[in-house]
Amino acid sequence: MNIIEIENLCHRFADGTVGLDGIHLNIRRGSFVVVAGPNGSGKTTLLRHLNGLLLPTEGCVRLAGVSVAQDPARARRLVGMVFQDADSQIVGETVYEDVAFGPQNLRLDHNEIDIRVAQALKTVGLAKIRDQRPHLLSGGEKRRLAIAGILAMQPRVIVFDEPFSSLDYPGVQQVLQNILKLHRCGHTIVVSTHDLEKIIAHANRLILMHRGRVVHDGTPAEVMTEVENFGVRQPCAMRLGQEVASWLS
């Protein structure tokens, strides 16, 4: 069963730049997909089409059978998005309020909001600092806060745009652990990155983008041999002919 279906998706920006050019993709429910590509290859542009922040110039994106352009509000409930820059997604004055922002927009009642926020904060391990001011958190904590904010809206698909950028080793581990936990809970996961090393051991599909097109699509083992031709670095272990180990071990 495909939860995301993308047909001939093209996107041209207002200044004429071609961001995406003829993308065809189907993503199965419950899968763990990594979208890789060098800077400017169109990863962010593609992800923004999944919840209707950008709408196609041509073609169509469907979520569980319904076009995103037809009902962007539904798309935003189904697809949660964790952005590249953790700072600019903080909207609340405390950790609790930031996580409650989404559920409040869904007009849930107070009890339900409390339950969801508590659950989301527990999942990402921030329950102890619910009254802290978000701007004082570390980079890894901010990223986990952003994840909690999305979780509280209970989306089916969670999209991460460069989730490891500017994180240190423990920060990467914490965020990675959370992503894996969400995948185990049944969420469909889409992660964009140009740094395969940190995540590829856990993915079951790798999509390689270059200049707004999908140039390779398959299991990580299949696609990995090609990545260096398109400006993405192969994990060290692979160059040495070994299997890529998880960053958690």
Partner 1 sequence: MRHASGPRGGVVAELTPFGFVVGTSLLHRLDARFKILFLIGLSLASINAHFDGLAVLTLVLAGSLFFCRIQWKSAWRELRYFLILLAMVFAARVLSTGGSPAITIWMITISLPGLTTAALVCWRLAFVVLLGLAFVATTRPAEIRAAVQWFLKPVPLVSEKKVATMMGLILRFIPVILNQARETAEAQKARGVENRKNPVYRLAKIGFPVMRRTFERADDLASAMEARCFTENRTNPELSAHWRDWVAMGAVVCLCMALLTL
Q: Which two tokens stand for residue 217?
A: 């699509």
User: Which of the choices partner 1, ligand ATP, Mg ion, none does residue 104 contact, using the CB cut-off of 5 to 8 A by kind?
Assistant: partner 1
Q: Which two tokens stand for residue 125?
A: 């391990």
Does residue 194 belong to the site contacting ligand ATP (CB under 6 A)? yes
Q: Are 49 and 9 in contact (CB under 8 A)?
A: yes
For the CB of residue 41, give the shortest distance to ligand ATP in the complex, in Å.
Answer: 4
Q: Which two tokens stand for residue 222?
A: 């299949």
Residue numbers 63-122 binding Mg ion by CB under 5 A: none
Distance CA 162, CA 44 (A): 9
Does residue 56 belong to the site contacting ligand ATP (CB under 6 A)? no
- By beta-carbon proximity to Mg ion, the closer residue of 23 and 95 is 23
Distance CA 3, CA 21 (A): 22
Among positions 113, 120, 121, 189, the unique one binding partner 1 when judged by CB under 8 A = 113
User: Which of the choices Mg ion, partner 1, ligand ATP, none does residue 101 contact, using the CB cut-off of 5 to 8 A by kind?
Assistant: partner 1
Which residues neighbour 187 within 8 Å (Cβ) at sequence distance 6 or greater?
Answer: 30, 155, 156, 157, 158
106: left (phi over 0), alpha (psi -120 to 50) or beta: alpha
* Total residues at interface with partner 1 (CB under 8 A): 41
Among positions 37, 42, 56, 80, the unique one binding partner 1 when judged by CB under 8 A = 80
The site for ligand ATP (CB under 6 A) is made up of 13, 15, 17, 19, 37, 39-45, 194
